[in-house]
């Protein structure tokens, strides 16, 4: 492993937005695998190389913005917007191709994929990050068409994390804040601000589901189509409704239509 790859991985481990969430590299949150590193500063002389890889940079990139990936990564369909901000990074481990746009609305933003999984519909996403905020997609995640917004600032950096093998349906949206301040009139203070969103490994978000504000969704749980998650969801439950509530306990899901009992036991051992 080269010094530059080690530096990229240390950027992940030391990013302030990940300080209060599960450690990347711990079970269920795999580190990106980068065997043959391609480390490309987001500078004008590198724009053609990035275009050949299917990465377009719109507008200006600030100083020390980087794209890190493996030479074996298939061609992407990805648009990056740095808005002139400094020290932003995109780190992509070996995985399937994906499409979409990443937008950095402040310096020190970080987007990490440990390697998207393959799906018939392909993975497409839109991500918006505020100053010093971060997004992590674990190994094998699939996300057909989804939107992710992380609000925060340098004093309170925030993260959105998806554990390994999460499956995200169509038209899913996740925001870690209401998008406005909630104010206590008696004290004239803000009482509810942005927080972290953490999906445990092997979560399933059904079509049209929404995460509205800080929340943790437990390992192996299923969020029903159209549900709106506004608070924490335990492990291995089915949650649905507006707002989402536990509908059934002791359940999980599998990408296979009819997994055997042995396959289900192996799955549960990984949760």
Mean pLDDT of 111-126: 94
Which value, in Å, is the radius of gyration of the alpha carbons in the chain? Answer: 18
User: Residues with Cβ < 8 Å from 70, sequence gap 6 or more?
Assistant: 33, 34, 35, 36, 37, 38, 92, 93, 94
pLDDT in tens, 158-167: 999 999 999 9
pLDDT at 1: 57
Higher pLDDT, 182 or 248: 248
Sorted by sequence, the CB contacts under 8 Å of residue 44 that are 6+ apart come out as none
Kindly indicate the confidence band of residue 192, based on its pLDDT and cuts at 50, 70 and 90. Answer: confident
Residue 263: pLDDT over 60: yes
Percentage above 90 pLDDT, the chain: 85
**Tokens 């790859």 correspond to what residue?**
5
Interatomic CA distance for residues 51 and 111, integer angstroms: 19
Spatial CB neighbours of 232, under 8 Å, sequence gap ≥ 6: 215, 216, 217, 218
Residue 59 is encoded by which pair of tokens? 């507008």
**Residues 6 or more apart in contact with residue 216 via CB below 8 angstroms:** 196, 197, 198, 199, 200, 232, 233
Pull the structure tokens for residue 109: 């933003």
Position 77 scores a pLDDT of 97
In the chain, % of residues over pLDDT 70: 99
28 vs 134: CA distance, rounded Å: 18
Nearest to 239 by CA among 263, 214, 210, 261: 210
Mean pLDDT value across the chain: 94
Residues 214 and 109: their CA atoms lie apart, in Å, by 19
pLDDT of 3 over the 80 cut: no
- CA–CA distance, 173 with 149 (Å, rounded to integer): 8
* pLDDT for res 224: 98
Least confident of 15-29, 144-158, 183-197, 232-246: 183-197
Average pLDDT over residues 54-68: 96
Residue 180, pLDDT > 80, answer: no
SS in 3 state form for 129-147? Answer: ECCCCEEEECCCCEEEEEE
Is residue 227 over pLDDT 90? yes
Convert the pLDDT of each residue in 69-105 to its tens digit: 999 999 999 999 999 999 999 999 999 999 999 999 9
Q: What domains can be seen in the chain, in order of their start residue?
A: 3-270 (2.160.10.10)
Amino acid 8: pLDDT = 80
- Give the burial class of 120: count Cβ atoms within 10 A of its Cβ; 0-12 exposed, 13-18 middle, 19 or more buried: exposed
């Amino acid at each position: 492993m080269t010094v530059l790859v080690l530096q990229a991985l240390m950027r992940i481990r030391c990013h302030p937005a990940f300080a209060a969430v599960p450690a990347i590299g711990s079970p269920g949150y795999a580190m990106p695998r980068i065997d043959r590193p391609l480390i490309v500063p987001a500078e004008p002389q590198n724009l053609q190389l990035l275009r050949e890889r299917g990465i377009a940079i719109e507008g200006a990139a600030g100083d020390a913005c980087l794209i890190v990936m493996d030479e074996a990564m298939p061609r992407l369909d990805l648009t990056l917007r740095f808005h002139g901000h400094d020290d932003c990074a995109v780190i992509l481990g070996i995985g399937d191709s994906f499409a979409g746009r990443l937008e950095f609305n402040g310096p020190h933003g970080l987007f990490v994929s440990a390697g998207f999984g393959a799906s018939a519909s392909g993975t497409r996403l839109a991500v918006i990050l505020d100053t010093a905020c971060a997004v992590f997609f674990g190994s094998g995640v699939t996300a057909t068409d989804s939107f992710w917004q992380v609000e925060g600032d340098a004093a309170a950096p925030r993260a959105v994390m998806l554990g390994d093998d999460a499956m995200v349906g169509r038209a899913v949206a996740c925001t870690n804040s209401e998008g406005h301040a909630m104010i206590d009139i008696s004290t004239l203070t803000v009482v509810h601000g942005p927080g972290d969103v953490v999906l445990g490994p092997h979560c399933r978000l059904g079509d049209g589901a929404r995460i509205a504000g800080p929340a943790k969704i437990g390992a192996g749980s299923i969020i029903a189509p159209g549900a709106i998650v506004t608070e924490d969801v335990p492990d291995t439950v089915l949650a649905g409704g507006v707002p989402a509530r536990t509908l059934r306990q002791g359940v999980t899901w599998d990408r296979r239509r009819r997994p055997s009992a042995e396959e289900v036991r192996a799955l549960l051992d990984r949760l």
